[in-house]
Amino acid sequence: MNGFNGQHITCCIGLGSNLGNSLQILQDSWQRLGEQNDINLQALSAPYRTEPVDMESEHWFINAAGLLTTALSPEALLDQLLRVEQEFGRRRDPHNSGYQDRTLDLDVLLYGDLRIGTSRLQIPHPEMHKRLFVLVPLADLAPNRLHPRFQCSLDELKLQLMDEKSPSIPEQMLWTAAEND
């Protein structure tokens, strides 16, 4: 389904990888998203190196956030993200529960100011306010953007989480490191 009420909506996307050349995979997948019909890339955050959360793995993640505009419906955008994940080697095993290592993870974090709760798609992303690896890069791009559920800025959510839990802070990296590998 193309077009969502005939408007281009600003969306926030989370990008992550902990297998392969993660920096290059994130850059290449972001560019691949921009090649899709009805998706216009606006900005990509710096990459951040982060510890695995809610899973055991020796592989740390590289995470980033992106802003794009789209005329796709939320479900059609999700379909595009899943296709790009597959192109970059993401395999989802329905028999494994919990989080697993992955070459690429793309999530719809925010879709305009919409709130959606279906079995397939939840917007805003239901865990984003609990995850510094999402909030740090996202707040770099849109610090004053309001979370549709909590009605406070992304920067405020990030600072609250840093104060509450004192978790390990994501380590900012440079995209140029991908070119040197």
Answer yes or no: is 2 within a domain: no
Answer yes or no: is 110 within a domain: yes
Look at residue 171 and tell me whether its pLDDT is greater than 90: yes
Answer yes or no: is 52 within a domain: yes
Smallest CA-to-CA distance from 112 within 80, 67, 155, 81 is with 67
Residue ranges with strand state E in the chain? 9-17, 39-44, 48-50, 61-70, 105-111, 116-117, 122-123, 171-172
Answer yes or no: is 96 within a domain: yes
Active-site residue, from 91, 101, 102, 131: 102
- pLDDT average, residue stretch 133-140: 96
Active site residue 140: no
Answer yes or no: is 1 within a domain: no
Residue 119, classified by CB atoms within 10 Å of its CB into exposed (0-12), middle (13-18) or buried (19+), is exposed
What total number of domains does the chain contain?
1
Which tens digits make up the pLDDT trace of 13-49?
999 999 999 999 999 999 999 999 899 999 999 999 9
C-alpha span between 56 and 68 (Å, rounded): 32
Domain housing 125? 9-180
Q: Quick one: what percent of the chain has pLDDT higher than 70?
A: 87
Active-site residue, from 54, 90, 93, 145: 90
Helix (H) or strand (E) holding 25: helix 22-34
The CATH number of whichever domain residue 85 belongs to comes to 3.30.70.560
Which tens digits make up the pLDDT trace of 46-102?
999 988 876 677 888 999 999 999 999 999 999 999 999 999 987 766 666 656 778
Which tens digits make up the pLDDT trace of 114-126?
999 999 999 999 9
Active site residue 54: no
Answer yes or no: is 4 within a domain: no
Residues ≥6 apart with Cβ < 8 Å to 149: 115, 124, 129
Active-site residue, from 105, 140, 145, 163: 105
pLDDT of 143 reads 97
pLDDT of 22 reads 95
**Averaged confidence pLDDT in the chain:** 89
Answer yes or no: is 129 within a domain: yes
Look at residue 166 and tell me whether its pLDDT is greater than 60: no
Look at residue 1 and tell me whether its pLDDT is greater than 50: no
Top-confidence range, 88-102, 135-149, 164-178: 135-149
Look at residue 3 and tell me whether its pLDDT is greater than 50: no
Active site residue 131: no
Active-site residue, from 107, 120, 145, 155: 107
The predicted model scores a pTM of 0.90
Answer yes or no: is 56 within a domain: yes
At 4, the pLDDT band (50, 70, 90 cuts) reads low
Q: Are 72 and 87 in contact (CB under 8 A)?
A: no
